[in-house]
Amino acid sequence: MNKITNHQLYRLIAAHFLEIIREPSVLFWGIVFPILMAWGLGIAFTQKGELTQRVAIIRTEPDIKLSAFLKDHTSHNGNLFKTQLKNKKLGNINLIFEEVSWPKAFTMLKKGDVNLILEEHLNNVEYHFDPTNADAKLLYQQISNTLKYGAEYYTNNEAEIKPLTVTGTRYIDFLIPGLLAMGIMMSCTWGISYTLIDRRSKKLLRRMVATPMKKSNFLFALMTARFTMNIVEGGLLYLFAWLYFGIHIQGSIPALIAVFIAGNIAFSGMSILISSHTANPEIGNGLINAIVTPMMVVSGVFFSYHNFPEWSQPVIQYLPLTMLADSMRSIFNEGAGFTSVVMDTLVLSGIGAVSFIAGLKIFKWY
């Protein structure tokens, strides 16, 4: 009797799967790390807690208004003046003014310790900062308004602020679908490409194809084992996001499954193409990074790609990671169904199929 467990496809899938789960670092990078990243970024960008801002201040000719403010509203300790701007909805801001010399102020600016320098001129204050730095601009407005209207200016507008914290509009809602998409890309490229290149360099591919093993079974098994891992990794990340941040999938689950599968097809196919030729793991490393890193930066995983110049938008929008992240995001947060993601699903699957076939044509087994 020939049992299913003696079938080469079963054995190949089992072998690849065992190799993955027996490597503790794989479990860390695949499962724990994305969850830590989601937690860290989620906390950093959604917590309303206190924010501390440091400002350098040059007091060669003290300004009357600023002097009064520092005297009345701050606690003085050596060259530090501390105060707090209060607002329940915006979160409190701890302002620390540090009295320093010009050279010291510049050093602090270069190190990123401060991004605003105040210089007093008897009857006025000058603000030195980089106007293209959003943080610096915001801080300038906060401090100049505080000096003009008093510390109450920041507290007074509490009533008009209506915080949007409904599911789907927070930063974490933006982030999680992006992380899921990135997880699929990373897992496929490193898991499939690197494994193939490594096995080629160790002459294992050559040894395996010197048997009656079907090459298609080998590649199919590698992709299946990786797909299974991606389900586990993605599932656990979503479970964490659901329990900790209360994230919900607002759109169609079958559509999400279709997009997830299409993403796996796209990146598995690309991985076969990337790894079709080289037997040198260092070249492989470079190749994978060259494909993966630009997409990680521009595809809108961590922040919207609309920040990039207009001319680059059409290119960015058709990168596989952008399509995957956008589709997942629209299902998670905008309640999208099949019809809105069908195009991306087809294009992603097509990219995967074409890369797979091209990769197989030039694939070096020996």
Partner 1 sequence: MEKPISSSAEYLVDVRDVHKSFKDVKAVKGIDLKIAHGEFVAVLGPNGAGKTTMVEMIEGIQHPDKGEIHIDGKQWKHHQHELHQIIGLSLQETRFMEKLTAYETMQLFASFYKLNSHRVDEVIELIGLEEKKKAYVNNLSGGQRQRLALGIALLNKPRLLLLDEPTTGLDPNARREIWNILLRLKKELNTSLILTTHYMEEAEYLCDRIIIMDQGQILSQGTLEEILSMNGGCRSLDELFINLTGRHLYE
Applying CB under 8 A, among 12, 105, 265, 274 the residue interacting with partner 1 is 12
Closer to partner 1 by Cβ: residue 202 or 248 = 202
Give the distance from CA 201 to its chain's centroid.
32
Q: CA–CA separation, 97 vs 100, rounded Å? A: 9
Distance CA 22, CA 8 (A): 21
CB of 15 to partner 1, least distance (A): 5
Torsion over CA: 136, 142, 146, 147 (sign): positive
Instruction: Decide if residue 29 touches partner 1 (CB under 8 A).
Output: no
Of 195 and 333, nearer to partner 1 (C-beta) is 195
137 binds partner 1 (CB under 8 A): no
Please state the φ and ψ torsions of residue 150, each to the nearest 5 degrees. Answer: 85, 165
Q: Which residue, 12 or 192, is less far from partner 1 as judged by CB?
A: 12
Q: Which of 200, 81, 189 is nearest to 143 (CA)?
A: 81
Give the Cα separation of 101 and 157 in Å (integer): 35
Question: Which CB atom, from 88 or from 207, has the smaller least distance to partner 1?
Answer: 207
Q: Which of residues 210-229 bind partner 1 (CB under 8 A)?
A: 210-213
CA distance 117 to 78: 18
Tokens at 65, concatenated: 């208004």
Which stretch, 105-113, 148-156, 206-214, 291-299, contacts partner 1 (CB under 8 A)? 206-214
- Contact between 311 and partner 1 per CB under 8 A: no
Taking the complex as a whole, how short is the minimal distance between the CB of residue 343 and partner 1, in angstroms? 40
Q: Which stretch binds partner 1 (CB under 8 A): 17-25, 60-68, 114-122, 228-236?
A: 17-25
Place of tokens 């020939």: 2
Q: Within a 10 A sphere around the Cβ of 77, how many other Cβ atoms?
A: 9
Applying the rule CB under 8 A, the residues between 186 and 205 that interact with partner 1 are 202-204
Q: Does 18 bind partner 1 (CB under 8 A)?
A: yes
| Binds partner 1 by CB under 8 A, chosen from 6, 25, 77, 123 | 6
Tokens of 227: 């797909």
Give me the least distance between CB of 188 and partner 1, in Å please: 19
CB of 206 to partner 1, least distance (A): 6
The reply to whether 208 sits near partner 1 by the rule CB under 8 A is: yes
> For the purposes of burial, counting CB atoms within 10 Å of the CB of 71, is it exposed (0-12), middle (13-18) or buried (19 or more)?
exposed
Size of the site for partner 1 (CB under 8 A): 25
Q: Does 362 bind partner 1 (CB under 8 A)?
A: no
Name the one range near partner 1 by CB under 8 A: 15-23, 52-60, 127-135, 173-181: 15-23
Nearest 5 degrees, angle CA 175-CA 176-CA 181?
100
Which one, of 58, 50, 47, 37, lies nearest residue 94 by Cα?
50
CA dihedral 61, 64, 70, 71 (to 10 degrees): 110
Residue 22 sits in the site that holds partner 1 (CB under 8 A):
yes
By beta-carbon proximity to partner 1, the closer residue of 134 and 210 is 210
153 is an interface residue for partner 1 by CB under 8 A: no
Rounded to whole angstroms, the Cα distance separating 225 from 53 reads: 49
Q: In what order do the strands lie in the sheet with 75-77?
A: 75-77, 80-85, 93-99, 51-61, 117-121, 124-128
Q: Figure out which of the listed residues 54, 73, 206, 277 binds partner 1, where binding follows CB under 8 A.
A: 206
Interface with partner 1, residue 361, by CB under 8 A: no
Q: Is 50 in the site for partner 1 (CB under 8 A)?
A: no
3-state helix, strand and coil shares in percent for the chain, rounded to the nearest 5: 65, 10, 25
**Applying CB under 8 A, which part among 11-19, 64-72, 108-116, 275-283 lies near partner 1?**
11-19
What is the binding site for partner 1 (CB under 8 A)?
Answer: 2-3, 6-8, 10-12, 14-15, 18-19, 22-23, 202-204, 206-208, 210-213, 366
